[in-house]
Amino acid sequence: MLVLTCPCCGVEADETELAAGGQAHIKRETVGASDDAFEEYMFMRENPKGVHFERWRHANGCGKWFHAARCTMTLEVFGTYTAQTYEPPADIRAAITAKRPGWSWGRFS
């Protein structure tokens, strides 16, 4: 039963107010993409033991999507941030580095 702070409305939301939306920072592939690229986009996901970036929606609340950086092993939350970004912001990355030096995830580190 996680608590995540929704960056859109500031509520420290109980997990029962939230809906999980899977991995964050996936680049959409569409018409013109190779089969392999499309498969990667559609089906392939990170499954880390440790630092992870996820999409969440404050479904029973302000209705907005946001991103969360957390540890899948300890459930430590490094921070939540806007969904309107292609990559984790610098302050989130710094917060992760402070707790998990040398982390890497997909194309980020």
What does the binding site for other proteins look like in residue numbers (CB under 8 A)? Answer: 1-3, 8-11, 14, 16-17, 21, 28-33, 35, 38, 42, 55, 57, 59-65, 71, 74-77, 83-84, 99
Q: Which of 35/107 has CB closer to other proteins? A: 35
Q: Least distance to other proteins from the beta carbon of 73, Å?
A: 9
Distance CA 7, CA 58 (A): 10
Query: In this structure, what token pair is assigned to residue 5?
Result: 């702070």
Q: Least distance to other proteins from the beta carbon of 63, Å?
A: 6
Contact between 95 and 80 under an 8 Å Cβ cutoff? The reply is no
